[in-house]
Each structure stands twice: as C-alpha cells, then as structure tokens.
Structure 1
Amino acid sequence: MRLLGAAQEGGSTISECFLAASRIDPKDGGDSWYREWIRIANLSNERANAVFERGHVLTAQSNWLRAINYYQASTFEFDAADNEHQSVLRTMRACARRYIAHLTPAGEVVEIPWLEDYALEGYFLPAPAASDRTPVIICMGEPGHRKEEYLFKAARYARDRGMSLLAVDLLGSGTGTKFDKVVGRPDLETAVGHVMDYLTTRDDIDQHRIAILGDGSGSSFVARGVAFDNRFAAVVCDGGIWDMQERAFLMERLSPSCAGSEATNGGLPGRRFRCPVLITMGEHGWLEPDHVTDLFERLGIDHPDISLKIFKSSETAAAQGHRDNPTLANEFIFDWLADRLESVSG
C-alpha cells in the first residue's frame, strides 16, 4: 500500500509495483521479495544514469526518485548489520545525492552534530527563486524512518509554497548499524533541538518561521523535543498521543486500578507547546478514532492551540500513516503549515 500510494507522489509507478509483486513467491521468504524489488530498483537507477548522460535531467531525476523507494522496499526483511542491507543503502543514498545535486537550486547534504560520536545527516532543499530568508519545514520520521522518502513525499509541497525543506532522520550518516544502539536512548527528543541549532546558523532561512513535521506513529519524540524548545513556529506530529497511549497501556498492565485518566493525563508533564500543533490521524489507523479523540481532549486542557484532523474512509488517507493516499494528507498538512508560518512576523 505504501509503494502504491507513493506512485502519485513520484515515488513509484503502479505498473512497476504490480510487475514486482507478480514475481514475488510468498513461499520463498524474504529472498524473493528482495530479488524482485532490487531488480526494479536497479533498472530505474540504470535508466536514470543512462538518460542523464544524454542530458535528460528531469527524466533522470524521476527515475532516481523511484529507485530510492524500490531500494528501500527491498531491504524490508533485512537486519541493519546485514552486508546486503548496507550495500543497498549505499546505492540508495547515491541516488538521493545525485537527485538533489541536480535540483534548481541544488540541494545540500548536511551533517548535524548530535551525540559525541554520532552525527545526524540531512538533505537541505532551498526554496526556489528565493531572494530573501525563507521559512523552512523540518521533516523527521519515527525512529527507523529514512529521510530519503521525503524527497518525493514532501519536497514538492514545500517547494510549491515557497518554503525550504530539511529532511533528516535518526539513522546517522552511516548505513544504520550504530542506530540499534541509539534508538533505545530515553532522550531521542534532544535530536530535535540540535536540528534547530543547525538551522539557526544558516543565513538563508527565517529563524522566526521554522516548523517541523514529525511523521509516523512514533513521532512523540518530536512532540517532546518541541515542548522543550520555544523556537518553533508550528509543529505537525502526534502531539504526544502515542506516549500517552503507551503510558496508559503500561499502567493498566502494572496496576489496573490506576488505568484511565491518571494514566493518560499530561502527555508532556510540566511542559506546554508554545506554538500551534496539528495532529493528523487515519480512521483506520492503529488507534481507534474515539480513543484518539479522548486523548486529544486531554491534551487540549494544557495545550489550547492544538488541532486534530481525522481522515475518514469516505475521503481516503484513512490508513495508518495516510499511506493509502499521502497526497490528500500532505495537501492538508502543508496548507496548514503555510497558513501558520504566514501569520508569523519576524
């Protein structure tokens, strides 16, 4: 579903997805899955390189974008330390670097200090034809989410609205083997402040109009990071709802008598969002809509400038992560971000 949903964003073609799927043998375990997606990915990459040599940059970029997504799909069954996994990720990142290098204006691969021996890596895509400092959207996914996906999933929505975009993940600048040690840290939210610190060193962005999009159900670490940092102008994330859900679950398991309001009150104890917050969910996501609404109302007690959008099945974008129709969700999200950033005066 994710791969098919990416087709309308330029991250795949429906025919290629069906072709790869038709060749996958469910009895063959992960070998068949890997073999067919890597075949499609390699074809796209080779096609991109060939047409680029003939001067057709736009076609090359389209094929690099699709190759990125197919390479990522091929590694689904792999452990991060697997040699094949690391080789595929190196190729995927090479596609991403070639893609952003030939944008107009060109994108940059940036390194952002975080932990002592573990830097974050990001792709900074400047707004087109910008003559002044521009607003910027940070895109960060849940732990394990790869920033390359934002090149087709989010970049055009920022670009079309005159905003720069910084796509960053928690996987560092390597192939992900160190990530297994990092992901269990209780302070993942500190990465958010370091990303903001980096942006404030740039002279091409408006420091008063920085927003962040925390993608996925595990984006509570983004919510925590924003709650500890008053420099953000707007945030789209789960608002801490997933943290609240996990806390309620653990409290019920440990002491059923403590379940309920005590377990879910205050997703971010002692902290309030200092900027507008948007939470988007799908009707058929992992949490029931009524439960999400209840958690949202509890959040609203301490965080009044917070909005909730639940996409219904009648309009699509109702699956977990809006993967059945990411276009609809992104249009809503980036319009909301544009409105909030436009209202901010430097």
Structure 2
Amino acid sequence: MGDLASTRLGASAFLDDLASISAATNQQNWVRRWTNIGNAHCLIGDLEIEKGASDKAVEGWLCALTAFEVARRLVDDDDAQRASVSIKVERALEKIRSSEHGIERVHVACDDAAELLAYYLPSGRPDLLAPAVICISSEEETGEMLLGRLLPVLVGRAITVLVISHDDVSSQWRGQTNFMLSCCLDYLAAQPNIDSSRIGVYGDGVSAVLATDFALCDRRVSAAVCDGGLWHWARTLAAVGWINKTADLMDEEALSARRLLSIRRLSCPALVVAGGRSAVSEAEAVKLQVDCEMAHIDLELAIPRTAVTPAGEVENFVTSDECIFGWLEHKLRRSTAPSLFAPEEPVRF
C-alpha cells in the first residue's frame, strides 16, 4: 500500500519475474491478488476523497489502475474475468474524472456530419506551452482502456494527450482514416496551451500501422511511435514471394532498398516497438534499424520485455510505456535537434 512510484515498481518487478512465478503458481491466483490490490487502492482513494484530500485520492486510484492492468494482462481475452476487471478500470477512471483531475471527454469535429469522441488530458505543466500526442488504442482495446493504462505514466509530465479508439478510425478507408487523424491534430493545434509545431502520434499494437500512414500523410507530425512501414512491407514481400517464388532469391541490397521506401518519406523521428504484441516482428525491425542507420535516418527501435505464460506472452507495460513517453518527451522538446543516427543497439525495456 505504497505510493504510485512504488506500486509501479512492484508491478514491473512482478511482470519481469512472471515466467518463473506462473510456472510455480496458478495464474488465476495472481489475477485475484492483483485485482484485490486494485480494490484496496480504490478504497484508499475513496476514503481520502471523503477527507477532502483530492491529490491523495487520485494517487490511490492511479495505483488501482496499474494493479487492474496487471490483472487484465494475466487473463485470456475470452475469459469473463477480463470484462470484470475492465469495468473496474472504467469506474476508477470515472472517479478520477469526477475529482476535477483535468480529463475531458471531447468531440473532435471531422466534417459537417461526423465527429470523433476522444479523451483529452492536458499537460501537467499548465504554465508552459506544451507538446501533445495523439494516442490510438490497439485493435483489442477501447480508447478508455488505453487511457487507464497510460494515465499513471502521464501524470506530471509536460505533455498533453488526445486518446482515441482504434475502432473509431480504422473502420474507414485509408484516406478517411488519415483525414480523421488530421482533424485530431487540428483540434490539438487550436488549443491555447499546446505548441502546434510539436505534435506527435503514438499507435499501440496494430494501430502503429495507422500512425505510420498518418505521419507519411501529414507532415505536421513531429514524432511518431509507429511500425516504420514494416507491416505493409511484410505483406508486399509475402505477395512477391507467392506470385514469383523469388522472395528468397532477392539480394540483400534490393531488400534493404524496398524496406526503406516508406521510411524515407517520413519527415519526423520514429520509434518502432517490436516483438510481443506489436504488429512488427523483432527480426524485421532490427533489419530496418540497420538500414536506417546506414542511410542516416532518425529511427530508433525498442523491444519490450515479455514473459511467456500459459495465457500467452505478457509484456511489461510499465517499463514499455515509460520508455515510449520518455522518448516522445525527448523528441518533442523545443530545443532538441533531430539526431542523424539511430542507436547501435535496440533499446530493450
């Protein structure tokens, strides 16, 4: 029953050790334990708000969000417990919203007939002109679930976020998706406390593909956590191999040239998250990073730590999210000049 920092430290340590833990203990027991930890933090938050201690109450609910996210990661997608834990996340989020913490449910106008629902969380430094990031949930989650996971990471950071659901934009044809995301960027650029020259995009899971397409389409994007064009590249390579039976015969120079086709058109720094639940394979991402380093393209690679359990691969989302938003903050700083070289080694977090 510590503060947010110790709660997240404990969650990260547990996820790092999960492979050995799950082999020795029934995973359902850990689901119950982390759900109970979340319940206890919620209760602490409720008691603190009754005392008028709003900041302590919010910290309790943020601790609960982290605990509930650990529980959700341990449950199969079709398990009834997953829906139950998701409801707990929604309730904790509603408590934080009702405490005037700054989270807003906003409507982003796309045209005369359509609008997009999103969550808006202003920077933790209202006195500064802040950068902003459009965050797109994975195909398996709603925008609300992504917000619940990210909120403990975002508190106190000098960055504003607009969180949207994958389903709300991905069901459109490609040009319409980019148009809707451009409307989100327009919305952020019009806010008085946002620096319109420092707006990035983050696509979680398969939404990394949407983030790449958007960054290629709208040159106002200043940083992108995306797939680097690798998803479309993998489909193209598979199609060529199936039609011509020659994919394995292409020389590495030709493969590298084709792999770089999309990323060369990207006008902003990129971070590619590979492996685990990502849309990008680790092997292809490493090849792309090497190609980008040789071509002096600002692309970095991050590989989350994962544990293999009976429920599948479980990613350490705590360190992953901290690394992603640390990278975004760094790239969206006003004084940071674009770097010419990607790091020699992928960042493993």
TM-score range (shorter-chain normalised) is 0.5 to 0.7
Asked whether 1:167 is paired with 2:163, we answer yes
State how far apart, in whole Å, the 2-side matches of 1:117 and 1:331 are: 30
Q: SS at the partner of 1:138?
A: strand
* Code of the aligned partner of 2:226: C
State how far apart, in whole Å, the 2-side matches of 1:272 and 1:224 are: 11
State how far apart, in whole Å, the 2-side matches of 1:16 and 1:169 are: 29
Q: How does 1:180-329 map to 2 (within 5 A)?
A: 187=174, 188-216=177-205, 218-253=207-242, 255-258=244-247, 260=250, 261=254, 265=258, 272-281=265-274, 287-289=281-283, 291-296=284-289, 305-309=297-301, 319=306, 323=317, 325-326=319-320, 329=323
State how far apart, in whole Å, the 2-side matches of 1:324 and 1:309 are: 17
Note the C-alpha offset of 1:39: 3.4
1:139, 1:165 within 8 Å by CA — same for their partners in 2?
yes
Match of 2:44 in 1: 47
Structure 1 residues 333 and 281 mapped into 2: Cα distance closer, same or farther (>3 Å)? farther
Aligned length: 309
Q: Which moved more, 1:271-280 or 1:198-207?
A: 271-280
RMSD, matched Cα: 4.5
1:238, 1:279 within 8 Å by CA — same for their partners in 2?
yes
1:112, 1:195 within 8 Å by CA — same for their partners in 2?
yes
2:45, 2:58 within 8 Å by CA — same for their partners in 1?
yes
Note the C-alpha offset of 1:224: 0.6
Note the C-alpha offset of 1:222: 0.6
Percent of aligned pairs sharing the same letter: 18
Note the C-alpha offset of 1:266: 5.4
Aligned counterpart in structure 1 of residue 65 of structure 2, from 68, 81, 86:
68
Q: Which runs of 5+ in 1 are unaligned?
A: 1-6, 173-181, 312-316
Structure 1 residues 307 and 9 mapped into 2: Cα distance closer, same or farther (>3 Å)? farther
State how far apart, in whole Å, the 1-side matches of 2:204 and 2:45 are: 29
* Code of the aligned partner of 1:231: R
State how far apart, in whole Å, the 1-side matches of 2:232 and 2:99 are: 40
State how far apart, in whole Å, the 2-side matches of 1:190 and 1:300 are: 31
TM-score, length basis structure 1 = 0.67
Structure 1 residues 39 and 78 mapped into 2: Cα distance closer, same or farther (>3 Å)? farther
Match of 1:147 in 2: 147
1:10, 1:66 within 8 Å by CA — same for their partners in 2?
yes
Q: Which moved more, 1:271-280 or 1:218-227?
A: 271-280
Q: Which runs of 5+ in 2 are unaligned?
A: 307-313, 339-349
State how far apart, in whole Å, the 2-side matches of 1:164 and 1:184 are: 26
State how far apart, in whole Å, the 1-side matches of 2:86 and 2:287 are: 40
2:137, 2:204 within 8 Å by CA — same for their partners in 1?
yes
State how far apart, in whole Å, the 2-side matches of 1:270 and 1:325 are: 26
